[in-house]
Amino acid sequence: MGGKQAKELAEELAKTIIARILLIVKSEQFFGNIYTVLLVEGGTDEFFVNKLEIQNFKCIAISDVRTAEEELMKSYYNYCKEKQSDNKRVARRDVLNTVDVLNDKYKNIAGFYGLIDKDFTTDKSDKIILVTPTHDLETLLLSTDEEIFDENIKEAFEISRHVAYLIGKVEKYLQDHGYIYRKLQDNDYRDIIPMQKRQLRLDDVMYLKDLTDFARLLDVLIDENNDDKLRIRREVSQNISNIEIDGYSDDDIYNIANGHDIANIMKLLCKEDIDKFIKSHNAEVHKKRDVEYAIIAKYNLSNFKNSPLYKDMTKIRLTPTTITE
């Protein structure tokens, strides 16, 4: 597929996303429901916002809207792959673009907003786009509620968040220097944390990299499409491999680590206990047997009221979204 054709299909999908969102809003209006619309990146974001039970808030996950157009979505992802993007960045961009288009089209309506992860940016919330104060929603929850995990899995959580920080440091270095990298897939975690490393504790190592097979981590993250992978690998190793375990703070971890990485590493380190943790909250998780959903289900919402994100959400003008055309 040529780049031009892929781009045209990607643009068509973007239009379809907007049309479907408008259809959702109009359908709610038909039944007398008038909402402020908050667009989010994925299902866990939607699950959390719905748990907040904010009156007159309609949360829509952009990932769910995209999935409805399977063939267009495949073309869209092919185009994004050509542009060296990934699904995570696609979702973020879709939220920003869709909110921008809707607010431009319906200038007299103050009802379309977006919520995105900060990721590796320095973005902050504004009047229309809300941004998590930490790397993503999951790390925000983990950083504000120390009672989410029981004692039997807290050690695995500690290891997981430190390893996720290391992964994030490598990814951020690659991104900042314009190198192509790929996000870890579920089966990658077993490779980068081999069996002999899974028994280690933080006190057992001096350098962060020693919690992993660091060479394998670099092999997995540094994309083959880079011109000189070996040179990049040496460069990254020289700049990242000497991070000491006590050489960074909790704030550093939650600004760099990806919540999805933390969850996947925990599943690897203590699968049986994590399965029990998920199962104990599964009634609230809508059959999603997933660590992130269980974290949200367990999270104490009273802690969220002290978060900058909560304060940003309360500043949103709860102006109903009414579509008349």
Q: Residue 71: phi, psi to the nearest 5?
A: -65, -45
Q: pLDDT band at residue 1, thresholds of 50, 70 and 90? A: very low
Element (H, E) at 81: helix 70-82
pLDDT digits (tens, 9 = 90+) for 51-65: 888 777 788 998 887
pLDDT for 290 equals 86
The listed range with the strongest mean pLDDT (105-109, 153-157, 319-323) is: 153-157
User: Are 286 and 163 contained in the same domain?
Assistant: yes
Task: Tell whether 57 and 73 lie within a shared domain.
Answer: yes
Same domain, residue pair 98 and 161:
no
Does 97 share its domain with 146?
Answer: no
In a domain, 325, yes or no: no
**pLDDT tens-digit series, residues 16-40:** 888 888 888 777 776 667 678 899 9
Quote the number of domains for the chain. Answer: 2
What is the structure's pLDDT at 159?
97
Average pLDDT rounded to a whole number, residues 74-102: 69
Whether 16 and 98 map to the same domain: the answer is yes
The reported pLDDT for the residue numbered 5 is: 59
Determine contact, residues 245/205, Cβ cutoff 8 Å.
yes
**Mean residue pLDDT across the chain:** 85
User: Is residue 74 pLDDT above 90, yes or no?
Assistant: no
User: Average pLDDT, stretch 80-93?
Assistant: 62
Q: How far apart are CA 128 and CA 48, in angstroms?
A: 19
- What pLDDT sits at residue 20? 83
Percentage of residues in the chain having pLDDT higher than 70? 82
pLDDT digits (tens, 9 = 90+) for 257-314: 999 999 999 999 999 999 999 888 765 555 566 899 999 999 999 999 889 898 888 8
pLDDT band at 318 (very low <50, low <70, confident <90, very high): low
Tell me whether residue 321 is in a domain. Answer: no
Q: What is the mean pLDDT of residues 62-81?
A: 63
Higher pLDDT, 58 or 169: 169
Residues 114 and 243 reside in one and the same domain = no
Give yes or no for residue 88 having a pLDDT over 70: no
Same domain, 147 and 118: no
Residues in the chain, total: 325
Angle of helix 259-269 relative to helix 151-176, nearest 10 degrees, comes to 130
Tell me if 323 is assigned to some domain. no
Asked whether residue 236 is domain-assigned, the answer is yes
User: Which DSSP letter does residue 322 get?
Assistant: -
pLDDT at residue 108 above 60? Answer: no
**8 in the same domain as 107:** yes
Residue with tokens 């699968």: 271
Q: Based on the domain organization, do 71 and 158 belong to the same domain?
A: no
User: Does 10 lie in the same domain as 156?
Assistant: no
Interval 152-161 mean pLDDT: 95
Tokens (6 digits) for 65:
């809207």
Is the CB of residue 324 less than 8 Å from the CB of residue 31? no
Residue 230's pLDDT is 93
Q: Assign 75 a pLDDT band (cuts: 50, 70, 90).
A: low
Domain that holds residue 311: 3-133+307-315
